[in-house]
Structure formats: structure tokens, C-alpha cells
């Protein structure tokens, strides 16, 4: 029987450790994990103690937020009920989504030109210097 989605720490066979919201799914004869917004959590330490955590996206070169992982690629996984960790994760996801919406290119950021105009302007600047 498949449960609902849950917050989970996954240790993959590659050595990566990720935290995400996970939903298991049975497909034919294998179990897949649908992983939403996976993050890597790094402890920030002083010489004597852990002072905080740094969250970063698991895959940095994609805008996708859902991934499918074959359970055979997972070394171990544990459900998380740590409210502090879950809140930190949710806040990170909200901030990331807000940042994605506001990072559209606009004319307010500066002049937008075509390649030919930019080339012409740069050549004039170069010749005059």
C-alpha cells in the first residue's frame, strides 16, 4: 500500500543527501519516488558547535521542481517530523519561487538592444579610445 507524500531525507547511492517532499508510486514492478523541490542541507559550524544550516537546490541548472528517483538508487531514507527543518525547507521553497517570478528581464534593468546595434556602439567606443 502506498502512503501520501511526506518530508524525507534521502541518501542516494551516489553519496548525495537530499531533503524533500516525497510521494512513493508503484509503476509496473518497481517503486518510484516522486521528489518535490529537493534541497541539499549543509551544516554551518563554528569551532565548537553547529550554528545553522544552509539550504541550496539539489540541481542548480534546471527550473524543474519535481524529479523521479527509482527506489533502487536510494541507499536509505527516513521520514522527517522535525518541524524546524520542515519550516526551513518550506521557507526556502517559497523564497526560491518568489525569486523566480521576479527575475524576469525588463527594460527597467537597463537598455536592451539587438546584436547589430550593440556591436556598432561598441565599435564606436573602441575607435574613439
**Nearest CA-CA partner of 125 in 117, 113, 109:** 117
The percentage of residues in the chain with a pLDDT greater than 90, rounded to a whole number, is: 45
Average pLDDT along the chain:
85
Per-residue pLDDT of the chain (129 residues; tens, 9 = 90+): 455 899 999 999 999 999 999 999 888 888 899 999 999 988 888 888 878 888 999 998 888 899 999 999 999 999 999 999 999 999 999 988 777 655 566 666 566 667 788 788 888 888 887
**H or E element at residue 70:** strand 66-70
The tens digit of pLDDT for each residue in 25-43 reads: 888 888 899 999 999 988 8
Q: What are phi and psi of 118, to 5 degrees?
A: -65, -40
CA atoms within 13 A on the CB side of 128: 6
Say if residues 22 and 77 touch (Cβ distance below 8 Å).
Answer: yes
pLDDT of 74 reads: 95
Domain at 6-128, CATH class: mainly beta
- Reduce the DSSP state of residue 7 to 3 states and report it: strand
| Cell digits of residue 18 | 537530499
Amino acid at each position: 500500500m502506498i502512503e501520501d507524500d511526506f518530508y524525507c531525507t534521502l541518501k542516494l547511492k551516489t553519496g548525495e543527501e537530499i531533503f524533500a517532499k516525497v510521494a512513493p508510486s508503484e509503476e509496473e514492478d518497481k517503486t518510484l519516488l516522486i521528489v518535490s523541490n529537493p534541497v541539499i542541507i549543509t551544516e554551518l559550524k563554528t569551532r565548537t558547535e553547529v550554528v545553522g544550516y544552509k539550504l541550496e537546490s539539489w540541481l542548480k541548472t534546471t527550473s524543474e521542481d519535481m524529479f523521479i528517483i527509482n527506489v533502487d538508487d536510494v541507499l536509505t531514507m527516513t521520514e522527517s517530523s522535525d518541524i524546524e527543518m520542515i519550516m526551513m525547507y518550506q521557507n526556502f521553497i517559497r523564497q526560491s519561487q518568489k525569486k523566480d517570478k521576479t527575475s524576469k528581464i525588463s527594460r527597467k534593468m537597463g537598455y536592451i538592444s539587438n546584436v547589430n546595434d550593440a556591436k556598432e556602439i561598441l565599435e564606436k567606443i573602441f575607435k574613439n579610445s
